[in-house]
Chains A and B, each alone.
Chain A
């Protein structure tokens, strides 16, 4: 039996979708809306920095951001493939989509590492 890579991308896609659906809206609401608008008191830079320095938080942020990117990549790939009917560009689309997600993952990892070793 020939081994297909598709289950690998789908695993990243589906776990990314689950994580993103659970955590992204509340994170965006707290960090992106409630704190800037002053609905919640800002914890301040020091406290947030200490939070991100925690290994568990870093692993969580890394998983959340990276898997969300892979979720996007897979979805966008099929949007282009089926929606715009770019069947003949399948390989290029896959490389660009997953490539972007991989680049984003590497950047996230890099930022989280240098950020915590300040």
Chain B
């Protein structure tokens, strides 16, 4: 079993050249290897200058997202076998500035995430004695959206984010909705003011790629649709029942 498979990695080393170039590496083709294993092999055995992010190698940390044959995936969750006989194209995540090789710049998302205030907002300052209790069904209301690992695959897949970098984007909106749907939270009004701004949910045209590529089966497209419905209901309510506005 000495079969090899070729990885064409898009490299960018700003100190050497301002251009991105593909570099080919032949790695052993092993059934049990994922893309990340192949990259680690390159780094250890072939070319120590290759840069990429990774940590947990089990689909939890969300740091090894990259484009594999044009699709945003977690490289720790994509087997070489899927792409046999190759060659396999490896590129940094789309729609993000590249720092080096496969490493992307994520600060845009961090700023957006903070804007949707993804934490429990309470009207009363003091926490209660003990904990806030929650039933299993109240937990189920938001659990799906809480599975997000901030891997940015949805931003890479979203054509609207590609065209409108100011768009809040799938993960940030889904995480905002995650707290909106939490029975312990009282900050929906504050959060929705941000989510329904010009750069928020109304930019979304329901392409649905965000949900298709999500490795944790979060459904950001559904989160955005649900927010559109609730925001629209609030919009009409504000005319029909203006006394509730304050």
Contact B205 A82 (CB under 8 A): yes
Closest CB-CB distance, B231 to chain A, in whole Å?
6
What residues of A have a CB within 8 angstroms of the CB of B108 in the complex? none
**Residue among B205, B236, B238 with most chain A CB within 10 A:** B205
Contact A10 B163 (CB under 8 A): no
With beta carbons under 8 angstroms apart, the residue of B198, B228, B238 that contacts A10 is B228
Chain A 7-30 per-residue mask, 1 if CB under 8 angstroms from chain B, else 0: 110110010000000000000000
8 Å CB interface, B215-246 against A:
228-229, 231-232, 234-236, 238
B202 at the interface (CB under 8 A from A): yes
Contact B238 A82 (CB under 8 A): no
Cα–Cα, bound, A8→B238 (Å):
12
What residues of B have a CB within 8 angstroms of the CB of A82 in the complex? 159-160, 163, 205
Contact A85 B163 (CB under 8 A): yes
What residues of A have a CB within 8 angstroms of the CB of B229 in the complex? 14
Contact A10 B205 (CB under 8 A): no
Cα–Cα, bound, A69→B236 (Å):
21
A3 at the interface (CB under 8 A from B): yes
- Chain B at the A interface: SS class: helix
What residues of A have a CB within 8 angstroms of the CB of B159 in the complex? 82
With beta carbons under 8 angstroms apart, the residue of A1, A11, A85 that contacts B232 is A11
Chain A 74-118 per-residue mask, 1 if CB under 8 angstroms from chain B, else 0: 000010001001010000000000000000000000000000000
* Residue of B with least CB distance to A74: B205
A56 at the interface (CB under 8 A from B): no
What residues of A have a CB within 8 angstroms of the CB of B232 in the complex? 7-8, 10-11, 14
With beta carbons under 8 angstroms apart, the residue of B163, B198, B205, B235 that contacts A7 is B235
Cα–Cα, bound, A101→B193 (Å):
29
8 Å CB interface, A17-61 against B:
none
Contact A4 B205 (CB under 8 A): no
**Residue among B193, B197, B235 with most chain A CB within 10 A:** B235
Contact A11 B196 (CB under 8 A): no
With beta carbons under 8 angstroms apart, the residue of A3, A6, A78 that contacts B205 is A78
Cα–Cα, bound, A3→B238 (Å):
10
Cα–Cα, bound, A85→B193 (Å):
27
8 Å CB interface, B128-181 against A:
159-160, 163
Chain B positions within 8 Å of A, measured between CB atoms, are: 159-160, 163, 193, 196-198, 202, 205, 228-229, 231-232, 234-236, 238
